[in-house]
Structure 1
Amino acid sequence: MSTSLILLGLLTPHPLHGYELKRAHDTHLPSARPLAFGQVYATLNRLVRDGLASEAGHERAGGPDRTAYEVTDDGRRSLMDWLGTPEPPAPHLSSTLLAKTVIALLVADEASARRQLSEQRAAHLARMRELTAVKTAPGTAVAEVLAADLAIAHLDADLRWMQTATERVADLRLEVHR
C-alpha cells in the first residue's frame, strides 16, 4: 500500500495540515495500520519535493504555525493513474492459519488438528459477531462499515477453508506421515 498515494487521495478534496491529514487517515481507513505523525510529515515533505503536493497556506490557531498542503496537477495525475491500475493478487499466500494447521498435522494427532481448527473457527465466528455489531451500531461511519465488510468477507473465506481442511484432515495426516 502506498502511503504517499493514500495521503494524496485524502488531500484531494481540500487542503489539510498534517494533523488533519492523520485524522482523516484514521477516520476514513479505520482498519488500516495507524500512521505516526512523523510518517505523515515525512511523506508530505516527499510529496512536495516530488511536485505532487504543494503548500497551500499557513495558519496559527493558538499554537504553532500549521502548514496546509494541497494536491498539484501532477499529484492528481499520479493519483488517478494509481486508482486506475488494478491491484495484482498477492503472489504468495502467507497465512498463520495455514501454517498452524499443517504444523499441527506434522506434530500432533488427527484429533488435535481437528480441535485446533474447531477452536480457530470459534474465534473467527466471535470476531464476525463483533464486526457485525460495529456495522449495525447507530452512527457507524461508512468507512467503518466498509472495513468491517472486508474483514467479514476474509473471515468467511477462512471459515470455508477451515471446513474444507477439517474434511481433509485424515487424508492430509496420512500424506504427511507416509
Structure 2
Amino acid sequence: MSTAHVLLGLLAGGPRHGYDLKRAHDDRLPQAKPLAYGQVYATLGRLERDGMVTQSGQDQDAGPERTSYQLTDLGRERLAGWLTEVEPPAPYVASTLFSKVVVALLVAGIEQTTDYLTAQRAAHVTRMRELTAIKTRPGASVGDIVAADYAIGHLDADLRWLQTTMSRVAELQKEVTA
C-alpha cells in the first residue's frame, strides 16, 4: 500500500490535519494495519517537500495546535495517475503460510505437515466466520463490507490451496509407505 497516495486521496475531500487523516485512514480502511501518527506526519512532510500538499492553516480545538494540509495541483495529478495504474500481480509467492508448509514437508515429515495443514485450515475457517459476521452485522459500513469481502476472497484461495496440498501430502504418504 502506498501511504502517500492514500493520504492524498483522503485530502481530496478538503483540508485535514494529521490527526484527522490518521482517524480517517483507520475508519475508511478498517481491515488495514492502522497508521501510526508518526508515519502520517512523516509522510505529510515528504508530500509537502515534493510539492503535492501545502499547509492550509492552523487550528487549536481544545488541544495542541494542528496544521491542516491540502492538495496542490501536482498532488491531484499524482493521485489521478496512481488511480489509473493497474497493479501488477505479485511476481513471487511471498506468504508465511506457503513457506511454512514447504519447510514442514522438508523437515517435519508428512504426519506433522498434515497436522499443521489441518490446524491452519481450522484457523482460516474461524477467520472467515468472523469476517462474515462483520459483513452481516447491522450498521456495517460499505468499507467494512468491502474489506471483509477482500479478506474472505484471500482466505478462500488459501483454503483451496490448503485442500490441494493436503491431497498431495496424502499422495506423497502413499508413495513413501508403498
Same fold (TM over 0.5): yes
Is contact 1:105-1:172 (8 Å) kept? no
Q: Quote how far apart the aligned CAs of 1:109 are.
A: 3.6
CA distance in 2, matches of 1:54, 1:136: 41
Q: Quote how far apart the aligned CAs of 1:82 are.
A: 0.6
Asked if 1:110 is matched to 2:105, the reply is: no
Is contact 1:18-1:40 (8 Å) kept? yes
Which residue number corresponds to residue 24 of structure 2? Answer: 24
Kindly tell me: are residues 60 and 87 of structure 1, through their superposed partners in 2, closer, same or farther at Cα, counting changes over 3 Å?
Answer: same
Asked if 1:42 is matched to 2:61, the reply is: no
Asked if 1:157 is matched to 2:162, the reply is: no
> 1:46-94: per-residue Cα shift (whole Å, max 9, x none)?
1112110111222221222222111111100000101100111111111
Equivalent residues, number: 176
Asked if 1:92 is matched to 2:55, the reply is: no
Q: Provide the TM-score with structure 2 as the length reference.
A: 0.91
CA distance in 1, matches of 2:84, 2:172: 42
Q: Quote how far apart the aligned CAs of 1:171 are.
A: 4.3
Instruction: Calculate percent identity across the aligned residue pairs.
Output: 59
User: What code does the residue aligned with 1:27 have?
Assistant: D
Indicate the SS of the match to 1:64.
Answer: coil
Indicate the SS of the match to 1:138.
Answer: coil
Which structure 1 segments of 5+ residues have no match? none
Which residue number corresponds to residue 138 of structure 1? Answer: 138
Which structure 2 segments of 5+ residues have no match? none
Which residue number corresponds to residue 147 of structure 1? Answer: 147
CA distance in 2, matches of 1:140, 1:34: 19
Q: Quote how far apart the aligned CAs of 1:103 are.
A: 2.1
User: RMSD of the TM alignment (CA)?
Assistant: 1.8
CA distance in 1, matches of 2:100, 2:45: 42
User: What code does the residue aligned with 1:41 have?
Assistant: Y
Structure 1 residue runs of 4+, over 3 Å off?
A: 170-176
CA distance in 2, matches of 1:42, 1:104: 41
